[in-house]
Chains A and B, each alone.
Chain A
Amino acid sequence: MPKITFIEHDGTEHTVDGEVGLSVMRAAIDNLVPGIDADCGGECSCATCHVYVDPSWMDKVGQPSDREESMLDLNPERESNSRLSCQIPVTEDLDGLKVTVPEFQM
Chain B
Amino acid sequence: MSEATNTQPEFQIQTEYVADPYTLPLEDVNPAQGVLFQNDAHWPYFERLRKEDPVHWSAESEFGPYWSVTKYQDIKYVDMNHQIFSSEGGITLADQDEDFTLPMFIAMDPPKHDEQRKVVAPVAGPRNLAALEPEIRQRVCNILDDLPRGEEFNWVKHLSIELTTQMLATLFDFPFEDRYKLTRWSDVATAPPGTGIVESEEQRRAELLECLEYFTGLWHERAKRDEPGNDLISMLAHGGSTRDMLDRPMEYLGNLILLIVGGNDTTRNSLTGGVLALNQNPAEYDKLRQDPKLIPNMVAEIIRWQTPLAHMRRRALVDTELGGKQIKAGDKVCMWYVSGNRDPEMFDDPDAFVIDRPNARSHISFGFGIHRCMGNRVGEMQLRIVWEELLKRFHKVEVTGEPERVYSSFVKGYSELPVRLIEN
Residues of A contacting B245 in the complex (Cβ-Cβ under 8 angstroms): none
Residue B265 CB within 8 A of the other chain: no
For B79, the chain A residues whose CB sits under 8 A away are 45
**A43/B114 contact (C-beta < 8 A), A76-B125, A104-B125 known:** no
User: How many residues of chain B are within 8 Å of chain A by beta carbon?
Assistant: 21
Q: Complex formed: what's the CA distance from A105 to B118 in Å? A: 16
> In this assembly, does A31 line the interface, its C-beta being within 8 Å of a C-beta of chain B?
no
- By beta carbon, the residue of chain B nearest A37 is B361
Residues of B within 8 A of A39 (CB): 361-362, 366
Chain A proximity of B102: nearest CB distance (Å) = 21
Range of interface residues on chain A?
20 to 34
Give A39 Cβ to nearest chain B Cβ, in Å: 5
CA distance A33 to B121 in the complex (A): 27
Contact residue among A41, A44, A47, A105 (Cβ-Cβ distance under 8 Å from B126): A105
Within 8 A of A (CB), among B354-389: 361-362, 366, 368-370, 372, 377
Given known contacts A74-B114, A106-B377, A45 and B127 CB-to-CB distance under 8 angstroms: no
**Chain A positions 56-76 with a Cβ under 8 Å from a chain B Cβ:** 67, 70-71, 73-76
Tell me, in angstroms, the Cα distance from A71 to B368 when the chains sit together. 10
Residues of A within 8 A of B368 (CB): 40, 43, 45-46
Tell whether B24 is near chain A: CB-to-CB under 8 Å. no
For the complex, is B250 an interface residue (Cβ under 8 Å from A)? no
CA distance A67 to B84 in the complex (A): 13
Chain A, range 4-49, C-beta contacts under 8 Å to B: 37, 39-41, 43-47
Cross-chain contact of B372 among A41, A46, A76 (Cβ < 8 A): A46
Q: A76-B121, A77-B127 are in contact. Are A45 and B80 (CB under 8 A)?
A: yes
User: Using Cβ atoms and an 8 Å threshold, which residues of chain A touch B372?
Assistant: 45-47
- Tell me, in angstroms, the Cα distance from A49 to B361 when the chains sit together: 13
**Which of B76, B114, B126, B369 contacts A104 (CB under 8 A)?**
B126
Which residue of B110, B125, B127, B377 contacts A70 across the interface (Cβ within 8 Å)? Answer: B110
Cα distance, A105 to B366, chains bound together (Å): 15
Cα A40 to Cα B117 with chains together (Å): 20
B 170-195 binary contact with A (CB < 8 Å = 1; else 0)? 00000000000000000000000000
User: A104 vs B110: C-alpha distance in the bound complex, in angstroms?
Assistant: 25
In-complex Cβ contact of B130 among A47, A67, A104 (8 A): A104
Contacting residues, chain A, for B121 (C-beta < 8 A): 74-76, 106
Which residues of A approach B to under 8 Å, CB–CB? 37, 39-41, 43-47, 67, 70-71, 73-77, 103-106
15 residue pairs A–B, Cβ–Cβ below 8 Å: A40-B368, A43-B80, A45-B76, A45-B80, A70-B114, A71-B369, A74-B117, A74-B121, A74-B370, A76-B125, A77-B127, A103-B127, A104-B126, A104-B127, A106-B121
